[in-house]
C-alpha cells in the first residue's frame, strides 16, 4: 500500500455518484466506529477506506459521540478540541483518496443518545442542549464548506426514539438552519422516528434525505445481545416463526419498505443507515435474512451501510463461532458474507 503522503495526493472521488434532487445515490458500505464513544476514541484508519474501496463499496457512515471532541460538562459544550476534529478531517480526506463517500452522524449529540448513559440535559426540551447541538453542526458545516456533497453528507441525529413528530421536526429545523447558514448546499439526512424505523412525512419539504434501519426482526438481528431485553428467548430462524411473531420476506417489504415509498413520491431519498446481525445469530440464518433484505432494497434502489466493517456484526473479525474464517490482511474474513454483499447489486 502506498504511503499516507502519496495517498493524500490521489483523488478517486470523481467516480462517486452525483447527488440528484429526487433521490439519494445507491451508496453501499459500512459504519466505522472509531468515534462511536469517547471511551474508545481513536483515529479513523486509512486501511478501512482502502478495504472498502478494494471490495467495490463507496460509502462509510461515521457514527460519532460529541464527547470525542468536547467536554461532558454542559457549561463547556461549546468548546471543541482541535486534535479530535483533525482526525475527522483525515477520514474525509481518506474518502477523497479512495473514492468513498463519508457520512458524518451524531450518534451522541449534546442532550440525546439512544444508548445509555442518559445525557445531563435533554435535547428535546432544553434550549441549552439544542443550542449546543446546533453549534456543533455549524462548526462542521463551516469547516467542510466547499467539499462537494457527492463526497460528504451530514446525518443529523442517530435514531430518535420515543419522541413525537412535532418535537423532532422542531429540532431538525433548528439544526438545518445552523448548517445552512454556514453551508447552504450540504447534503443532509435525517433518521426516521422510532429508532429510525418510521418515516417522517412532515420533513419532506425541507430538502433532506431520510435514513431507515434494517434490524427487524430483532429476534434475528440481536440474538443474545446483552443490551436488548429477552434477546435469548427464542432461537432465531429465517423465515421466523415463534409464539409472538412471524417474519418473512413479504413482511419485511410490507412493514420496512412500503411505508417509506410515499417519501420517494415526494422527492425524498431514502437510505438504510444501519443494519446487520449480531455474532450469536446462526450464520445460515444471518445470510438468508441478509439476502432478502439486500434484494428488497435493490428493488427500490436504496443503498445501505452495514453495522459494522470490523466487529461483532461485521465482515471482518466478528468472532462468530460457526464461521470458517479466511485470514486476510491480518483480519478474519467472513468470505460468504462478503460474497453476498457484493453479488446483490
Check which CATH number belongs to the domain holding 186 and give it. 3.20.20.80
d(CA 133, CA 78): 9
- pLDDT of 3 reads 38
Q: What is the pLDDT of residue 15?
A: 85
Is 328 among the domain residues? no
Contact (Cβ atoms closer than 8 angstroms) between residue 196 and residue 250? no
Residue 118 belongs to a domain: yes
Residue with cell 429545523: 173
Instruction: Give alpha helix (H) positions in the chain.
Output: 4-9, 46-54, 82-98, 127-143, 165-182, 193-196, 218-221, 249-252, 261-265, 283-300, 335-343
Q: In which element (H, E) is residue 199 found?
A: none
Phi, psi (degrees; rounded to nearest 5) at 185: -105, 0
**Residue 156 in domain:** yes
Q: Which domain holds residue 151?
A: 23-280+302-308
Assess contact for 57 and 29: CB atoms under 8 A. yes
Q: What total of structural domains would you count in the chain?
A: 1
Question: Cα–Cα distances in Å, from 222 out to 9, 173, 216, 280, 316?
Answer: 42, 33, 9, 8, 18
Helices (H), 3-146: 4-9, 46-54, 82-98, 127-143
214 within some domain: yes
Q: Is residue 8 part of a domain?
A: no
Q: How far apart are CA 161 and CA 155, in angstroms?
A: 16
- Is 323 within a domain? no
pLDDT for res 9: 58
Which three-class secondary structure state does DSSP give residue 331?
strand
pLDDT at residue 4, as a whole number:
44
Q: What is the pLDDT along the chain (345 residues), one digit of tens a residue?
A: 343 444 445 899 888 888 865 579 999 999 999 999 999 899 999 999 999 999 999 999 999 999 999 999 999 999 999 999 999 999 999 999 999 999 999 999 999 999 999 999 999 999 999 999 999 999 999 999 999 999 999 999 999 999 999 999 999 999 999 999 999 999 999 999 999 999 999 999 999 999 999 999 999 999 999 999 889 888 999 999 999 899 999 999 999 999 999 998 899 999 999 999 999 999 999 999 999 999 999 999 999 999 999 999 999 999 999 999 999 999 999 999 999 999 987
d(CA 188, CA 178): 12
In a domain, 286, yes or no: no
What was the pLDDT predicted at 10? 81
Q: Is residue 123 part of a domain?
A: yes
Amino acid at each position: 500500500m502506498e504511503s499516507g503522503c502519496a495517498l493524500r495526493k490521489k483523488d478517486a472521488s470523481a467516480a462517486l455518484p452525483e447527488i440528484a434532487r429526487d433521490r439519494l445515490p445507491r451508496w453501499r458500505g459500512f459504519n466505522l466506529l472509531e468515534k462511536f464513544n469517547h471511551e474508545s476514541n481513536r483515529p479513523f484508519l486509512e486501511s478501512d477506506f482502502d478495504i472498502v474501496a478494494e471490495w467495490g463499496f463507496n460509502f462509510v457512515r461515521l457514527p460519532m459521540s460529541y464527547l470525542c471532541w468536547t467536554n461532558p460538562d454542559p457549561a463547556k459544550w461549546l468548546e471543541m478540541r482541535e486534535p479530535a476534529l483533525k482526525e475527522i478531517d483525515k477520514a474525509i480526506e481518506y474518502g477523497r483518496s479512495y473514492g468513498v463517500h463519508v457520512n458524518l452522524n451524531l450518534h451522541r449529540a449534546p442532550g440525546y443518545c439512544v444508548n445509555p448513559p442518559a445525557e445531563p440535559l435533554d435535547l428535546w426540551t432544553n434550549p441549552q442542549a439544542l443550542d449546543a447541538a446546533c453549534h456543533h453542526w455549524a462548526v462542521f458545516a463551516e469547516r467542510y464548506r466547499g467539499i462537494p456533497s457527492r463526497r460528504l453528507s451530514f446525518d443529523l441525529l442517530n435514531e430518535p426514539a420515543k419522541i413525537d413528530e412535532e418535537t423532532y421536526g422542531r429540532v431538525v429545523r433548528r439544526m438545518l438552519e445552523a448548517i445552512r447558514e454556514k453551508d447552504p448546499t450540504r447534503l443532509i439526512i435525517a433518521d426516521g422516528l422510532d429508532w429510525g424505523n418510521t418515516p417522517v412525512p412532515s420533513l419532506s419539504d425541507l430538502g433532506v434525505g431520510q435514513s431507515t434501519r434494517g434490524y427487524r426482526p430483532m429476534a434475528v438481528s440481536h440474538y443474545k445481545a446483552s443490551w436488548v431485553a429477552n434477546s435469548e428467548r427464542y432461537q432465531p430462524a429465517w423465515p421466523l416463526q415463534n409464539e409472538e411473531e412471524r417474519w418473512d420476506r413479504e413482511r419485511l417489504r410490507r412493514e420496512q419498505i412500503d411505508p417509506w415509498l410515499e417519501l420517494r413520491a415526494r422527492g425524498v431519498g431514502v437510505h438504510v443507515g444501519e443494519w446487520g446481525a449480531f455474532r450469536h445469530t446462526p450464520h445460515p440464518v444471518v445470510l438468508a435474512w441478509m439476502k432478502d433484505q439486500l434484494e428488497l432494497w435493490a428493488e427500490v434502489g436504496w443503498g445501505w451501510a452495514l453495522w459494522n466493517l470490523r466487529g461483532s456484526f461485521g465482515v471482518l473479525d466478528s468472532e462468530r463461532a460457526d464461521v470458517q474464517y479466511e485470514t486476510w490482511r491480518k483480519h478474519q474474513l467472513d468470505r460468504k458474507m462478503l460474497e453476498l454483499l457484493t453479488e446483490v447489486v
